[in-house]
Amino acid sequence: MNRILKTTESLCYKYRYILLAAFIGLIVAVPFLPISRVIMRLLIMIALYSMLGMGLNVLTGYVGLVSLGHAGFYGIGAYVCALLQVRLGVDFWIALLVSGLFTALIGFLSGLPSLRLSGSYLSIVTLGFCEIVQMILKQWESVTNGNYGIRNIPKPVFFGMELNLQNGGFLVVALVLALLTGLGCLALKKSNTGRAFLAIRDDELAAGMMGIKTSRYKILAFVISAFITGLAGGFYSELNGYIEPTNFVFNISILILSVVIVGGLGTVRGMIFGAVVLQLFPEVFRFLNEWRFVVYGLLLVLMMRFRPQGVLGWQSTQPYHISKRTKELLKETVTTKGGIGG
Amino acid sequence: MNDFLEVKSISMHFGGLAAVENVSFHVNRGEIVSLIGPNGAGKTTVFNMLTGVYKITAGEMYFEGHDLREMIPQNIVKIGISRTFQNVRLFSKMRVIENVLVGTHIHTKYSFFESLFRVGRFKKEEAKLEAKAIGILNSIGMGDIVDSFANSLPYGEQRKVEIARAIATDAKLILLDEPAAGMNPAESAELLRFIRELCDKGYTILMIEHDMNVVMNVSDRIYVLDHGRLIADGRPEEIANNPKVIEAYLGEQKHVED
């Protein structure tokens, strides 16, 4: 089993540019493919949850801070996007960007307690955050319309063409958003920011001793995570056409966290896999009726017992990618001096 | 006054416990200085005080004119003091090269957005850092395991990666906390050679060590701590014959009647 996964990994790595091109080709082809509405919606939800997973993964997988409050960020993103359009008539694309940025700001504020707390204590604070958001959405009726939610959110328009479920526009947007998020996360991971994140996760004290300003990076992780989740929320409000507070309850936080854990903490591939599993599962096992949730719980327990790192959460078997530029630099140093440090 | 590292009667109290009491020492540029003493003497505490992990209770510490008391660990590493840990603290789920790259963190010259969009400057700077990290690893004979994950390495190798990580910060003064612990004689002989080499390259080393073979062979000067107090200092041969030191390690000599 492991060997199959690892061979697949090395193949995927080898042909990564071809895969990327194929994926982009697929996105372009979506409007012309005969996909039924049910499948279309399922695919959109998979893309959306991959994105949510990647958002939480920045925080939980990279920096090791477990958040139970991501439904809160998700809800804030959705409401900001919807309200800007319905109340102020802002164009969808601008509203989407603003919803991401606004949620990032909230992420910054809610990241502040993370500086003093860790582990389960932080999780409980984020849980509280989720409930606060829920309360505000329900009670602040003059703005959020309370329990009635917001209806008739206009469909996005792209160069004069309305995007909806039928013409595949939504799926294209969802796939593009997920793709950009995925590429962003991969780029993030292989930079000094990503290394600082992982270092904080593995050993915060040692990270500080290497000059990493741990507080700043923890907050940055909250901001990035909230930004991605806010964008996903904004898109969700479009997709649904209406939103209400119950769309963003605590269960959603758990669902997002499950995506991350099932797929494999700290990996991008795992987020896609986790989203596929958790979105397909309820559909495939529809015949089990209420028993679905028992099986679902059982699967999670078995996962934790036999594969705690997540299904795709193995350490990479690929060699570290050393760029051509680096190799050239190395050749120069070998011929000129060599030795420690340089 | 010494212009490199100067420590004047520092103390560290934890509640009523005086872990370090009125300790003064100095390190000159280019020296290898050892800090020895029995377990619980406060050696690691001194390191933690120097690197800003603990806020010292009393005393003064200066490094090249910077007042270390006022600085946070992140800034202390920037002015050129880096350390390793007694029980290895590598980033276990990261690769060896990534661990060393974390050491170069403070020298990164690109911004977050530049790294996100992979602009030219990011690639250029990142290549420089990678080359530097690989250069350091090559120089300590670990060039062939740059890809390995830190948690898959044997203990001795992990210690070397930790030293490599400390070097990568471009520190002038490197604090080594028991570098030879858990190494076999061949490995510690290799370490000895390596530490000397570091010194020749212009690094200054302050080291805590229990392996007397390493300490006596490599140190220019030695300070001995016992129960948080400095009991002796001097060249290795002076320390080896100092009755106070022998007493601290082996206990008081009792006259036994036949």
**Structural domains of chain B in order of their starting residue, each with its CATH number:** 1-80+171-251 (3.40.50.300), 85-155 (no CATH)
Query: What's the pLDDT score for residue A194?
Result: 93
Which regions in chain B score pLDDT beneath 70?
A: 1-2, 252-258
Residue A210, number of CB atoms within 10 A of its CB: 27
Q: How far apart are CA B36 and CA B44, in angstroms?
A: 10
Give mean pLDDT, residues A199-228.
93
**Unique residue bearing structure tokens 């999780």:** A123
Quick check: B80 and B63 in contact, CB under 8 A?
yes
Q: Is 80 exceeded by the pLDDT of residue A293?
A: no
HSE-up of B241 (CA within 13 Å, CB side)? 3
Cβ-in-10-Å burial (0-12, 13-18, 19+) of B14 comes to exposed
Give mean pLDDT, residues A311-333.
80
A315 vs B122, B124, B149: nearest CB:
B149
Q: Which residues of A63-84 are buried (b: 16+ CB within 10 A; e: fewer)?
A: bbbbbbbbbbbbbbbbbbbbbb
Q: What is the ipTM of this complex?
A: 0.89
CA distance B216 to chain A (A): 24
Q: Is 80 exceeded by the pLDDT of residue A340?
A: no
Give mean pLDDT, residues A205-224.
93
* Cβ–Cβ gap B93/A340 under 8 Å: no
What pTM did the predictor assign? 0.90
Q: Is residue A5 part of a domain?
A: no
- The contacts of residue B247 (CB under 8 Å, 6+ apart) are B253
Q: Which of A54-58, A59-63, A70-74, A299-303 has the lowest mean pLDDT?
A: A299-303
CB contacts of B53 in chain A (<8 Å) are 205, 209
CB contacts of B78 in chain A (<8 Å) are 211
**Unique residue bearing structure tokens 């599993």:** A277
Q: Is residue A6 part of a domain?
A: no
Query: What's the pLDDT score for residue B78?
Result: 92
Query: What's the pLDDT score for residue A79?
Result: 95
Q: Which residues of B198-227 are buried (b: 16+ CB within 10 A; e: fewer)?
A: bbeeebbbbbbbebeebbbebbebbbbbbe
- The contacts of residue B111 (CB under 8 Å, 6+ apart) are none
Q: What is the DSSP letter of A146?
A: G
Q: Is 70 exceeded by the pLDDT of residue A182?
A: yes
* Cβ–Cβ gap A325/B127 under 8 Å: yes
Residue A299 CA to chain centroid, in angstroms? Answer: 22
pLDDT tens per residue across span A236-268: 999 988 999 999 999 899 899 989 988 888 899
CATH number reported for the structural domain that contains residue A144 in this entry: 1.10.3470
Q: What is the DSSP letter of A243?
A: B
Q: Which of A157-171, A224-238, B214-228 has the lowest mean pLDDT?
A: A157-171
Q: Is residue A270 part of a domain?
A: yes
Taking each helix axis as running N to C, give the angle between helix A169-189 and helix A37-57, from 0 to 180 degrees, rounded to the nearest 10: 20
Domain that holds residue A97: 34-311
CB contacts of A202 in chain B (<8 Å) are 90-94
Q: Is residue A85 part of a domain?
A: yes
Q: Is residue A327 part of a domain?
A: no
User: Which of A137-146, A226-235, A257-266, B176-185 is predicted most confidently?
Assistant: A226-235
- Give chain A's domain count: 1
Q: Is residue A23 part of a domain?
A: no
Q: Is residue A293 part of a domain?
A: yes
Q: Is residue A104 part of a domain?
A: yes
